[in-house]
Structure 1
Amino acid sequence: MQLENYISDLLYRYECVVVPEFGAFLTQRVSAKINASSNTFYPPKKAISFNEQIQQNDGLLAHYIADVEKIPFEIALEKIKKRVVSIKSQLVEKESISLEKIGQLALNEDGKITFEPFNQLNYLTDAFGLSQMVSPAIAREEYKREVESIEKVIPLTITPEKRKSRPYLRYAAVAVLALGISGFLGSKYYVNEVESHNQIAQESANSQLEHKIQEATFVIENPLPAVNLIVTKPVGSYHIIAGAFRVEENCDKIVSNLKAQGFNARKIGVNKYGLHQVVYDSYENREDAFKALNDIRKNNNPDAWVLIKTLE
């Protein structure tokens, strides 16, 4: 039994998944961060850890396996127990255990289990589709506004004594600064005037167009017969996510491909990160949803997951 697949499924929705008589895998939300030295942006995520002290069975893992495999709860517990015995045996023989999508387990010199998490998957569903990004550093220039700074930039070869005898140079510098400020303000005023004019013109055009549409009368001498279409609206709060995309055209291509494969694929809107989400199908029943998820992961997409949400 691939116990790690069931643990991975539960880590998307729960902060603690206990493996009876072995330990617990814990998740903790980590905020987005920036590495200033490499200019790398990291999205928020769930950090995974392992606690060997938490071993008491809470029923979560066994119930989930029983639901997915359609077996009694007691048989699910027995399967977990056999897998745990196998893992402990390998650890005692100084073998490291690699749990796919979760991390690597090993025994240290004190006989304690050490855990090194993998980073291939982000178990925080709110950040689905986001990846780390490298951005070039932004160079910002500082501009000094004092009149004395202008004299330092302009190569004036005069001594302090001559400067006192030629006060008009200071006034000239002030004049240059004043002209620059007035030019900036004038340019800003001009841009505002243009934007205001464009807005008024757009409102006027919309008003005229609406008036013409209201006055228009269409007469069809030979109308076509009415066609009644029966549209079935997908229902259900369990949605199997195929992916999320920044460009909506990519969603349309994915939907077409999935429909060609026999799935009832569709778009379910944009999440709070601006990504368009595509689903394989939606289900009303939790058991049907996870059974379909298991088949899709085996035959189509191992990264598919279930979104539990009531759509409007």
Structure 2
Amino acid sequence: MNLANYINDLLYRYDCVIVPDFGGFVTNKIGAKLNSDTHTFYPPTKQIAFNSLLKHNDGLLANYIASAEQISFEKASTAISLSVIKWQNELQKKAIQLDNLGVISLNEQQQIIFEPKKDVNFLTTSFGLPSVESSTIERYRQEVKPLIPVINATEKKGVPAFIKYAATAAILLTLGVTGYNGYEQNQQKEVYANQQKELEKKIQSATFVISNPLPTLELNVVKEVAKPYHIVAGAFQIAENADKKVKELISEGFNAQIIGVNKWGLTQVTFNSYADKNDAINSLNKIKRTVSKDAWLLVKTTK
């Protein structure tokens, strides 16, 4: 059994997949970015990291293998344990290539080092979006030539008199038109200013009175924070048993609730639900140590 294939499938839907007695593969979302050196745009993605401290069995991987292979939960757990033993033996000799995940190896302190495979994007919302490379835009400066040709001193001597008179008349005509336009604009501004003053006097003299004003309404709107991270306490075939479990957990101080029915028709009951992934993982580890070793983390994203 190729365990890496099942881990790969689950990482598209969940942010954390734990391999019991080995470690957890955790994904982190990375936004779109631009490489200014290569002029390449990269779409949003989910990057994989490995946490060797996440070793407790949350049941997610075993449940998925049991469903995919049509075997019992116990046989799936045994298959996972055998794969872990095989990995641990091979790591003593060489690095291991995990299909579509990356490479795991041991350092000098016998700690597991994970190098993720960067060409696989586990973010389903970015499925099919490749990186895009843009060509460099080159800018050119072109010398601007004057509209009126420059006449040097030697050329000025040969200019006829009638050209000089025509140029002088054109300049005087331009100045006359400019002066008239300026005078006309000043007249328009003065008329507009007088009209503005009259309008302000009318506004100041007007009085608006409302005899029966409407009462002020105060609306307190509480924004509901999405909590996609659920610590599952169990799944029940009979709904009454699920209700009993919720009441039992609430009496123990948990914010328990029923979050719906899974694809196998079982009613799922949670200890607590969280908006932050780190808070959920910390709470899960505490519950596993003190309450139930079978608790596991379920991530339900809203569409």
If the length of structure 1 is used for normalisation, what is the TM-score?
Answer: 0.47
Rg: which structure is higher? 2
| Higher relative contact order structure (alpha carbons within 8 Å, sequence separation ≥ 6) | 2
If the length of structure 2 is used for normalisation, what is the TM-score?
Answer: 0.48
